[in-house]
Amino acid sequence: MSALVVDTVSLSFGGLKAVDGLSFSVEKGEIFTIIGPNGAGKSTVFNLICRIYTPSHGDIRLDGRSLLDAKPHQVVQRGIARTFQNIELFEHASLLDNLLIGRFRHGRFAPLSELLFLPSQRRQELAHRRRAEEVVEFLDLEAHRHARVADLPYGVRKKVELARALVSEPKVLLLDEPSSGLTAEETDDTAFAIQDIRDNLGITVVMIEHDMKLVGKVSDRVLAINEGRFLATGTVGEVQADPSVQAAYLGAAA
């Protein structure tokens, strides 16, 4: 059964068609990668799914239910978590606080009980902390638990962002270039982490990625897009062999 369906979605900025009648569907428990040259509209697709942009045409469905009636802050409640291409962490808070903010959707606004720190709050805090700690262990972040995020090296911050998305316990995880700016070893770690996320946690992963080695290692299916339009879908080999994909990356043969 399809977890996430993008159904003939279009979006224009003025005269520019950023996404043009794009359709694809991601199966439950799949690792699905979107590739395409610069400016192909990959991040725009993520921003559409996260409701930062509203499509001018088409529908986006999660588990059969349209996402278009959700406000941007309600998307995570439906079970979609994401990371950003340029790390968007809470720089002046500790790693743990970042993860605890990731638990936001698993709480309720209870002003009095929060201001007075009633025993129920203490219990909730402990529970959130325990969940956060599981993710810390899952991604080997123990050493940095109490460090301020602004002080951490780039590779670790990238991991923290992944961790923050994971603690919200999503059904679908959107990763925007998880390996950009990472060293070769860190990229390998990321590949293992992505596989573990799917195999052990059962989360469907949709990612945008340029590193074809990483794409080949982890993805079940790949979607290639260019100028907001569908090019090809299939396994890595199939997509790479597709003449329209080669034309998009290298230019058409004369």
Rounded alpha-carbon distances, angstroms, from residue 104 to 111, 121, 147, 170: 14, 13, 20, 12
122 is a contact residue toward other proteins (CB under 8 A): yes
Which tokens belong to 202? Answer: 């059962």
Nearer to other proteins, 32 or 46 (CB): 46
Q: Please work out the total of residues on this chain that contact other proteins, with binding judged by CB under 8 A.
A: 49
- Rounded to a whole number of angstroms, the minimum distance from the CB of residue 120 to other proteins is 11
| Interface with other proteins, residue 56, by CB under 8 A | no
Within 106-203, strands assigned E span 172-176
| Residue 31 DSSP SS3 | strand
User: Can residue 212 be called a binding residue for other proteins (CB under 8 A)?
Assistant: no
Q: How far is the CB of 48 from other proteins (least distance, A)?
A: 13
Answer yes or no whether residue 50 interacts with other proteins by CB under 8 A: yes
For 139-193, the three-class secondary structure string (H helix, E strand, C coil) is CCCHHHCCCEHHHCCHHHHHHHHHHHHHHCCCCEEEEECCCCCCCHHHHHHHHHH
When asked if residue 58 is in the footprint of other proteins (CB under 8 A), the reply is: no
**Site for other proteins, rule CB under 8 A:** 47, 50, 52, 71-77, 81-82, 84-93, 96-97, 100-102, 104-105, 107, 109, 111, 114-117, 121-122, 124-126, 129-130, 133, 150-151, 164, 168, 181
